[in-house]
Amino acid sequence: MSDPDLRLWQILSLTSEIYLLNQEDEPTPFAFFVEEKEIVKTLEGVLDTSNELNAENVVDIVYQRQSIFRVQAVTRCTSSMPGHAEAVISVKFSPDGEKLASGSGDTTVRFWDVVTQTPHHTCKGHKNWVLCIAWSPDSTRLVSGCKNGAILQWDPNTGQQKGQLMKGHTQWITALAWKPYHSDPSSRYFASSSKDGDIRIWDAFLCKCIRILTGHTKSVTALQWGGAGLMYSASQDTTIRVWRADDGVLCRTLKGHAHWVNTLTLNVDYVLKRGSSFDPNVSVDPSNPETVHKAAKHRYDLVVSGSGERLVSGSDDFTLYLWNPEKDSKPIARMTGHQQLVNDVRFSPDTRTLASASFDKSIRLWDGRNG
């Protein structure tokens, strides 16, 4: 094979590969590498031409899918919504995107209209700072936890309290998490964690605690309810615990961090919180619960079909860990680079990228598959 024929064959093969890679609903750009050198202009430009190439040479071309970030400078605030009398500690959009809820040090929960950017309801009932809030997956309810360990449930349409006060934790609430929609279409169950070291699972219809998960020796700092029947908790005792939510059995303890674990995120966060009826890319009749449930399960299955649920933890020890918590207690990767404690970490909706935030004033982006 002559040099021109070889180059033509390489170009045709590469073109065919790119065509196959882009046969997706949402085509994304790819970067191509030869021996860790990115192909920017031509393949010939990155090849070692000191040795003559012939038809028997094999050139390995590695491709990497790229995430698309649309960055726009924020030049002005679109709206300011005053009302709270003390610091606003927590704020969350509803899964359907129509409402915003906030919890404050003034002991109230407020609901806001996202479109008109006006207040809807002011909910009074807590006796201390409202530290965390969480929407039910169907957007019909909101739970709030406060500094004295109490949990209340609210109707976002009326602003009225639903059911009785839920009490059991002896110290303040640190996190709230609902059971995913595809596992609980009625949005009946949620979990809470506390500085007292316990995790409690609640029946929102009965306003009763149905299970207590104990084992952490210090404050629980983060809580995630996964889509495979597992629950994940992080603690100041430096561990992450994996629980079977249905019966409260401890499956495994993930160790590796040298200091407090501050934050957790799952690669399925986006699909768990949005279900399917609220996804603009999925056409589902919201009036048909069975269809909505099947679509939500299908979206979850698509995300985990490749590598399962992946968990990422961030710590006061400046590091992050990537885990496969369903199968292994050893981390997939240890991510270093931050110079101070890690405050937060999140997967991008497409799960390809991780973003971590730190006290070192930086945000770092990581490969969501391998760290």
DSSP-derived secondary structure for 15-26: HHHHHHHT-SSS
Task: Identify the DSSP state of 339.
Answer: S
Does the residue 346 lie in any domain?
Answer: no
Total-model pTM: 0.79
| Mean pLDDT within 129-136 | 97
Q: How many CA atoms lie within 13 A of 317 on its CB side?
A: 18
Does the residue 230 lie in any domain?
Answer: no
pLDDT band at 170; cut points 50, 70, 90 = very high
Maximum Cα–Cα distance across the chain: 83
- On whether both 103 and 196 belong to a single domain, the answer is yes
Owner of token pair 């992450």: 240
Residue 172 dihedral angles phi and psi, to the nearest 5°: -70, 155
Pairing between strand 208-213 and 199-203?
A: antiparallel
Q: How many residues are recorded in the chain?
A: 371
pLDDT at position 78 is 76
- More confidently predicted of 65 and 162: 162
Query: What region does 337 belong to: left with phi over 0, alpha with psi -120 to 50, or beta?
Result: left
How far is the CA of 224 from the CAs of 45, 80, 273, in angstroms?
48, 31, 11
- On whether both 59 and 155 belong to a single domain, the answer is no
- On whether both 98 and 187 belong to a single domain, the answer is yes
CB 263 within 8 A of CB 345: yes
Indicate if the alpha-carbon torsion angle 247, 308, 188, 153 is positive or negative. positive
Domain boundary among 160, 188, 214: 214
Does the residue 351 lie in any domain?
Answer: no
Does the residue 202 lie in any domain?
Answer: yes
Digit-coded pLDDT (tens) for 71-96: 666 677 777 888 899 999 999 999 88
pLDDT at 299 over 70: yes
How many domains are contained in the chain? Answer: 2
pLDDT at position 77 is 76
**Where does 193-307 have alpha helices with state H?**
269-274, 289-304
- What would the two tokens of residue 71 be? 């960055």
- On whether both 93 and 171 belong to a single domain, the answer is yes
| Among 177, 180, 193, 189, CA closest to 234 | 193
Those residues with Cβ within 8 angstroms of residue 295's Cβ, 6 or more apart along the chain or in another chain: 275, 276, 277, 282, 284
- On whether both 98 and 181 belong to a single domain, the answer is yes
pLDDT at position 281 is 54
| Among 227, 217, 307, CA closest to 255 | 217
pLDDT band at 278; cut points 50, 70, 90 = low
- Is 333 in a helix, a strand, or coil? strand
How far is the CA of 211 from the CAs of 6, 71, 200, 225, 243, in angstroms?
67, 44, 6, 14, 12
Does the residue 147 lie in any domain?
Answer: yes
- On whether both 53 and 99 belong to a single domain, the answer is no
pLDDT at position 291 is 77
Q: What percent of the chain has pLDDT over 70?
A: 79
Q: What percent of the chain has pLDDT over 90?
A: 57
pLDDT at position 100 is 94
CB 124 within 8 A of CB 94: no
Kindly report the average pLDDT of the chain as a whole number. Answer: 85
pLDDT band at 8; cut points 50, 70, 90 = very low
The Cα–Cα gap between 279 and 290 comes to: 16
Does the residue 76 lie in any domain?
Answer: no
Owner of token pair 């479109």: 115
| Mean pLDDT within 264-271 | 91
pLDDT band at 210; cut points 50, 70, 90 = very high
Lowest mean pLDDT among 9-18, 45-54, 170-179, 267-276: 9-18
CB 204 within 8 A of CB 198: no
Locate the DSSP E strands across 125-260.
130-135, 142-146, 151-154, 173-178, 189-194, 199-203, 208-213, 220-225, 230-235, 240-244, 249-254
Does the residue 164 lie in any domain?
Answer: yes
- On whether both 58 and 90 belong to a single domain, the answer is no
In CATH, what number is assigned to the domain containing residue 201?
2.130.10.10
Lowest mean pLDDT among 11-15, 147-151, 243-247, 306-310: 11-15
- On whether both 28 and 105 belong to a single domain, the answer is no
Owner of token pair 């002559």: 2
- On whether both 55 and 138 belong to a single domain, the answer is no
Structural domain containing residue 108 = 85-214
The Cα–Cα gap between 325 and 250 comes to: 12
Digit-coded pLDDT (tens) for 312-328: 999 999 999 999 999 89
Distance of CA 291 to the CA centre of its chain: 24
Q: How many CB atoms lie within 10 A of CB 167?
A: 12
Domain boundary among 180, 214, 248: 214
Does the residue 242 lie in any domain?
Answer: no
CB 323 within 8 A of CB 307: no
The Cα–Cα gap between 132 and 205 comes to: 20
Those residues with Cβ within 8 angstroms of residue 70's Cβ, 6 or more apart along the chain or in another chain: none
CB 188 within 8 A of CB 205: yes
Q: Which residues, listed in sequence order, are joined to residue 108 by a DSSP beta bridge?
A: 124
- On whether both 205 and 110 belong to a single domain, the answer is yes
pLDDT at 98 over 90: no
Domain boundary among 188, 214, 240: 214
Q: Which helix (H) or strand (E) holds 315?
A: strand 311-315
- On whether both 109 and 156 belong to a single domain, the answer is yes
